[in-house]
Structure 1
């Protein structure tokens, strides 16, 4: 069946909030228009879409471009999804593409990998799709950063309410609740307007967002953050920010509300220092010999963090950003 020209699109069942689709209707139209007259193995002749009432694209949008709507994907040589399908969806001699979360032996997904192996199915794991240069083609990008910051702000509102503080963040929905990035940004802008107008309780201020790393994920998160009234500060200036907050108000000046939030971007040199030569940081040397460095984030940065937006790549040979004990 593999490469038989029939592609299936799964109805997502992993999470209640999963509204994404691996192919949009416009993608499907392009594939079908380029594959109608081709022999099996040389194009896409059919696309079968499992019906879904929560997918961001309605079933009718797929039908309009020539897709078939059916729960039965048994005719498909390749089945595409976003997250893991139900185990009973795995069929012999069929190819699947989705985020499997199995290549690091994640315990909760081992039954899925066992099923794929037992059925002699083929798995294309999005996380392991590399380009010619060996770099991942499907990885966290700006959209991941945008979504993360929106969901974080929503959670922040809930947290502060539990601590006894009402904040404008409470009016935000989760990212999956918005039909577009534009709509989500409009909601964040509205929160920013309220902060600028009504302020934040002084008891939770200065409200400092620390972004680790400067990659696409971090840039996407900062893009949303910048919709709020904000000031970015250098990591070295964080202590001064809190000293200023402790200063008594000037005569006639109210101290109950704060009308902006603060951002701070930290990179490797703010997280670690060389064990023998702490005054000099060489990024290339750190990447080559991480065992020669010790963590300092917990001392220099963490005491001033209200919100940690963790966006940098990490693997076990590097020092941890924060150990459990440090946290």
Structure 2
């Protein structure tokens, strides 16, 4: 079985890799002649070609000899090799219009697409993700943004830090006034956010305390979906109903937007679910949020001020309250500053790649040797020129024209 690690083709290039040199060396030792690894040469990968070669892994210019190809971000249509099995984050399963041509090309080229986002165990829990690292870097960037906006302190950009230990050292420079911080989500991403909040020594409070008490220190609240969604008919909440029929619900997040100054959004959002607020809501003088770190970065998703993804090179843009239009970062005292980088773990690429590779080594590599592996079958979006049964709901999406793209 020949496995290839592809060069990231999306622009700007992603520094991460599915496997570190050491991990490929360990897998090679474990599986012997059953596995052969090829790494496509890349000038941008966080581990150099030389590091892979020193680990005994072949580095090549032409990866087409491999049957199974692992990447991280979406593969440009022009770089897709027909008849292969690909693993990457496709960002198509929520019907993301900008990636419709990618899914159409996958079908046309008879590619088996296995999407990391839907690799799950028997209980439905994701087994591979960069979530924790997105949460860590996203939360750090939230406080970097707040420092830039208020000029109360200055910390280095995450991308300039060597590792997580150096990040925690940098966080000691943060000096916060008694602000209230809203966090949505308590999964792996939310767990990463909490690591940063705990590093800062911030106190967690209940929703009632957050809304009704005054504090002389900075505090934060973690909101679950029941805290800011309610049934339209009677104001109630039923978890199973909410996830099955989100259209029956509406947001009542506004009270938290009026109490908090900084929002760190780390909650999963599904198409059809209520958005936290409307873009026009930021015009209200009661809307107190001035910095929004949208780790989820769902364009057109839960956070209406996320007009586009920002980049590591240019991490923040502002949204003018009166017009709802984008203006330069920190361009106005009253505007809302938005951090919406869509590849946050790239700012600590070696560590985040290492954790991701450990998950792939544990869950995916052994599954490749199983006949009809459940984990791989459930995550297969397309095969043999067609969508799989689980993803047939994308049929109309892929049939539509590219005019919107």
Aligned equivalents of 1:105 and 1:287: distance in 2?
18
1:197-249: CA deviation from partner (whole Å, max 9, x where unpaired) = xxx5xxxx53222111322221210111222253333222335555x67xxxx
Partner in structure 1 of residue 61 of structure 2: 71
Aligned equivalents of 2:269 and 2:256: distance in 1?
18
1:150 counterpart = 2:140: yes
Partner in structure 2 of residue 19 of structure 1: 15
Corresponding pairs, count: 282
- The gaps in structure 1 that reach 5 residues or longer are 38-42, 246-259
2:210 touches 2:220 (CA, 8 Å); kept in 1? no
Runs of 4+ in structure 1 displaced over 6 angstroms?
Answer: none
Partner in structure 2 of residue 253 of structure 1: none
2:85 to 89, 95, 105: 95
Aligned equivalents of 1:283 and 1:60: distance in 2?
51
- Quote how far apart the aligned CAs of 1:285 are: 6.2
* Partner SS state of residue 182, structure 2: strand
- The gaps in structure 2 that reach 5 residues or longer are 283-405
1:238 to 194, 210, 229: 210
1:167 to 146, 149, 152: 152
Aligned equivalents of 2:267 and 2:104: distance in 1?
31
Partner in structure 1 of residue 354 of structure 2: none
1:185 to 147, 154, 168: 168
- Quote how far apart the aligned CAs of 1:314 are: 2.9
Aligned equivalents of 1:97 and 1:115: distance in 2?
15
- Quote how far apart the aligned CAs of 1:10 are: 1.6
1:112 counterpart = 2:83: no
- Quote how far apart the aligned CAs of 1:276 are: 6.4
**Structure with more contact order per residue of length (Cα contacts < 8 Å, sep ≥ 6):** 2
* Partner SS state of residue 281, structure 2: coil
* Partner SS state of residue 325, structure 1: helix
* Alpha-carbon spacing, 1:317–1:30, altered in 2? closer, same or farther (3 Å): same
1:143 touches 1:220 (CA, 8 Å); kept in 2? yes
Which has the larger Rg?
1
- Quote how far apart the aligned CAs of 1:129 are: 2.0
Aligned equivalents of 1:269 and 1:10: distance in 2?
41
2:188 to 216, 235, 259: 216
1:312 to 247, 259, 267: 267
Aligned positions of 1:121-132 closer than 5 A:
121-132=111-122
* Alpha-carbon spacing, 1:185–1:134, altered in 2? closer, same or farther (3 Å): same
Partner in structure 2 of residue 262 of structure 1: 219
Aligned equivalents of 1:287 and 1:238: distance in 2?
26
- Quote how far apart the aligned CAs of 1:287 are: 5.1
1:34 touches 1:44 (CA, 8 Å); kept in 2? no
- Quote how far apart the aligned CAs of 1:292 are: 5.7
1:10 to 2, 6, 10: 6
1:46-71: CA deviation from partner (whole Å, max 9, x where unpaired) = x2212233322222221122211122
1:86 to 65, 76, 80: 76
* Alpha-carbon spacing, 1:88–1:282, altered in 2? closer, same or farther (3 Å): closer
1:142 touches 1:216 (CA, 8 Å); kept in 2? yes
Aligned equivalents of 2:129 and 2:273: distance in 1?
20
Query: What is the TM-score of this pair, normalised by structure 2?
Result: 0.62
Aligned equivalents of 1:105 and 1:281: distance in 2?
27
* Partner SS state of residue 123, structure 1: strand
1:296 to 244, 252, 256: 252
1:110-164: CA deviation from partner (whole Å, max 9, x where unpaired) = 2222322222222111112232234432346322211211222223333x1xxxx
Aligned equivalents of 2:83 and 2:232: distance in 1?
54
Query: What is the TM-score of this pair, normalised by structure 1?
Result: 0.75
Aligned equivalents of 2:10 and 2:141: distance in 1?
19
Aligned equivalents of 2:152 and 2:260: distance in 1?
18
1:210 touches 1:265 (CA, 8 Å); kept in 2? yes
Aligned equivalents of 1:103 and 1:284: distance in 2?
21
* Alpha-carbon spacing, 1:155–1:79, altered in 2? closer, same or farther (3 Å): same
